Amino acid sequence: MDNPLISIIIPVYNVEQYLSRCLNSILNSDEKSFEIIVVDDGSTDSSPQICDDYSRKDKRVKVIHKKNGGVSSARNEALKSGLISGQWVCFFDADDAISHDFLMIDDNNNNADLIEKDFWFVSDMPDYSIIKKTNRNQGIKTLQDFYFKYADFNFRLNALWNKFFKKELIINHRFDESFGLGEDFLFFMEILPNIKSYRYCSNGYYLHTKREASAASMFQNKREAWKNYYFRCIEKLRNSTDHQSEDCKLVGYSIMYDIYIRNMYGVKKELDEHQRQILHNCLKDMKWKDLKFLSYRRKVRLYYWHLKEKYIHAI
C-alpha cells in the first residue's frame, strides 16, 4: 500500500462502549487514504479485543498494546513507534467521532503546516445530541493573525483533535508525561515556533463527546489540583522560551499572564508562600511588550497589577 495521506493516533483506555463508534466513523470517511494507530494503554475492559478485531478486518488499523501510562504516554508510544507514514498527523479521542468528510483536505491547503477544522460538542451516549456547533473560520490570513487569535481566550482551543499537523512538524516532539491534564496546550506551545503557515478548512467537523466522567470534568472539581496545574504551566512557559522567536515567546507570555496569572491573582489568598512568590515575581517582572497579543482592555488590567506588585508589593 502506498503511504497514506493521514495518520490518526488514538489512545485507548477502557472505552469499550465508545470505541466502535469512533473507529467506524473514520473507516466510513469519504477520504480513504489514512491509517489509524490505536494505542491500547493497558485497558482492563474489552477495548484491547475490539482494537485487535478491527485490525484483523482492516489493514489500515494498526494496534499497539502497552502498560497503562496515561494519554501522553500512549501518544508518545505512537510517535516513536515508526508506524506513522502519513503526510498529516491527527490526534483523536477514542470516545469521539468525525463527520464523513472531516478527513477531506483541499489541495490549496497542502502547503500548510497546520490545518484546523470546525467541531461540534455532543452529549454522551446513547443520544449524542448536538450541544453546540463552532465555526473556526476567523479570516486568518497571516501568521501574525494566527498568533493574535491563538492568544485570545475566546478563540483558543487547546485540544488537538480538530487539527491536522504536518508530520515533519511533530514527529520528533514528545508530550510531557508528567502532566495529567493540559498536555495538549503544552505540546502545542512547543511546536508553535515551527508553524509557518496556518489554514482553516471548512470540510467536515469533529464530534467531541461531553462526558461526565472525562478527565477534564473530574479535574474541574479538584480546586487544589487545578491550582498546582496552573503553576506548573507558569513555570514551564517561563523556562521554555529561550529557543523561540520573539513573537512565539510573546504568544506564550500573553497566554501565561492572561490565563494563569490572572486566575491565580484572583485567588491569591488561597496560595501558599511559594506560589505567592512566583505570582509576585511574574507580575513584577512583566513588561508591556509581554502582552503584545492581548486586547487593550486585558493589557490594562494586567499592567495595573504589575504596577501594584512592583511598587506596592501587595502580595
For residues 229 and 189, membership in a common domain is answered with no
Whole-number percent of the chain with pLDDT over 70: 92
Q: Are residues 167 and 292 in the same domain?
A: no
Residues 193 and 269 reside in one and the same domain: no
Domain end marker among 198, 217, 236 = 217
Regarding whether 300 and 175 lie in a shared domain, the answer is no
Query: What's the pLDDT band for 1 if we cut at 50, 70, 90?
Result: low
Q: Residue 154: what residue type? A: N
At residue 206 the predicted structure's pLDDT band, cuts being 50, 70 and 90, is very high
Closest CA to 147 of 197, 87, 88: 197
User: Which of 193, 217, 241 represents a domain boundary (last residue)?
Assistant: 217
Report CA-CA distances (Å) from 115 to 52, 110, 201: 30, 9, 7
- Mean pLDDT score, 91-118: 94
Within this chain, do residues 99 and 172 fall inside the same structural domain, yes or no? yes
Cα gap 147→140, rounded to integer Å: 10
- The pLDDT score that the predictor gives to residue 49 is 98
Is 1 part of any domain? Answer: no
229 and 211, same structural domain? no
Per-residue pLDDT, 259:
81
Task: Tell me which of 192, 217, 242 is where a domain ends.
Answer: 217
Q: How confident is the model at residue 248 (pLDDT cuts 50, 70, 90)?
A: confident
Pair (200, 64) in one structural domain: yes
Tens-digit pLDDT profile for residues 134-146: 888 778 888 888 8
pLDDT tens, position by position, 61-99:
999 999 999 999 999 999 999 999 999 999 999 999 999
State residue 183's pLDDT score.
86
Tell me which of 208-217, 218-227, 264-273 is least confident: 218-227
Of the listed ranges 97-101, 221-225, 275-279, 291-295, the least confidently predicted one is: 221-225
Please state the domain count of the chain: 2
Task: Supply the pLDDT for residue 27.
Answer: 98
Cα end-to-end distance, the chain, whole Å: 62
Number of C-alpha atoms within 13 angstroms, CB side, residue 297? 1
User: 251 and 205 share a domain?
Assistant: no
* Residue 199 pLDDT greater than 70, yes or no: yes
Task: Tell me the CATH number at 15.
Answer: 3.90.550.10
- Percentage of the chain surpassing pLDDT 90? 48
Q: Is residue 14 domain-shared with residue 144, that is, in the same domain?
A: yes
Contact in structure between 123 and 129 (CB atoms under 8 Å): yes
SS in 3 state form for the chain?
A: CCCCCEEEEEEECCCHHHHHHHHHHHHCCCCCCEEEEEEEECCCCCHHHHHHHHHHHCCCEEEEEECCCCHHHHHHHHHCCCCCCCCEEEECCCCCEECCCCCCCCHHHCCCCEEEEEEEEECCCCCCCEEEECCCCCCCCCHHHHHHHHHCCCCCCCCCCCEEEEHHHHCCCCCCCCCCCCHHHHHHHHHHHHCCCEEEEEEEEEEEECCCCCHHHHHHCCHHHHHHHHHHHHHHHHHCCCCCCHHHHHHHHHHHHHHHHHHHHHCHHHCCHHHHHHHHHHHHHCCHHHHCCCCHHHHHHHHHHHHHHHHHCCC
Assess whether 186 and 285 both reside in one domain. no
Cell of 147: 498568533
Statement: residue 219 has pLDDT above 70: no
Domain holding 208, by residue range, is: 6-217
Higher pLDDT, 313 or 65: 65
Task: Please classify residue 206 by burial: count the beta carbons closer than 10 Å to its beta carbon, then call 0-12 exposed, 13-18 middle and 19+ buried.
Answer: buried
65 and 154 housed in the same domain: yes
